[in-house]
Amino acid sequence: MTEPQTPDVETGWAWVDDAGDWLPPAVRDNAPSAARMYDYYLGGKDNMLVDREAADQVIQVVPDARDLAVENRGFLARAVRTMAEAGIDQFIDLGSGLPTSPNVHEIAREVHPNARVAYVDRDPLVLAHSRARVAVDPLTRTVVGDLRMPGEVLARPDLGNLIDFGEPVGILLIAVLHFVDHVLAPEVVRQYVRPLVTGSMVAISAGQSEGADKDVVSTLERVYEASPTPVYLRTRAQIGELFGDLQLIEPGLADITQWRKDGTPGSMQAGCGVAVKV
């Protein structure tokens, strides 16, 4: 491999919305964590009572919430495999959450045995678990970073030492942009795309407001308001706008159950797509 190129980033472009700043070094056990709630939906054990109680409130109004989480992981797997088959062998998983197998590097290495993956998150528990599981793998890296601050994330030396921005990169924003407000999210995506070379790809999935009962949306907003990550659901059109000038590949925007799969949407939908920089 040639000498990796570092991205041309605007390191001054970084702000935090009203949801708050970085989590403190200690794990918060008095407020639910979106990452740990997601782990609970998936049947994992890396969660606390406060997370399970909050997640159970969601399940009361979205009975198939667990299925939704599983379907989202399915979309992640198909998106990574699609990118890998297109020739991409390095990935940045933004807001990666608690490690769940098969994880991004495991999927990518079915196509490229030496695929490199940077897992980026700010949650202390996520970072601890991720580092423990990938510490023995020199081709994966756990990077401390708030996905809402692209300039700081892209300028991290531990990211630049692994990812070569002179070659196509796969960017993953899976079930995280509904935790970024409507004004900030499109610009967040644009800043991550800006330094990428032609042929790079971006995968996005986000919670969708269309088709959801207003009381359900209200409950979701109330539950996540108690966490460091309030939720901002979007229309299908607004999810499409997150891709900016990127070119969506087939089948374009779809529900996570129907992106390169013949599934049936649940009681709540999540729009998704994979796009390429041309």
Residue 203: is it exposed, middle or buried by C-beta count within 10 angstroms (0-12/13-18/19+)?
buried
**What are 200-212's pLDDT values in tens digits?**
999 999 999 987 8
Rama region for 225: left / alpha / beta (φ>0; ψ in -120 to 50; rest): alpha
Tokens of 260: 């390169």
pLDDT in tens, the chain (278 residues): 455 565 554 433 333 333 333 333 444 567 888 888 989 999 988 888 999 999 999 999 889 999 999 999 999 999 999 999 999 999 999 999 887 889 999 999 999 999 999 999 987 777 777 666 666 788 999 898 999 999 999 999 999 999 999 999 999 999 999 999 999 999 999 999 999 999 999 999 999 998 788 888 888 888 888 887 899 999 999 999 999 999 999 999 999 999 999 999 888 899 999 999 99
**What are 215-225's pLDDT values in tens digits?**
888 888 888 88
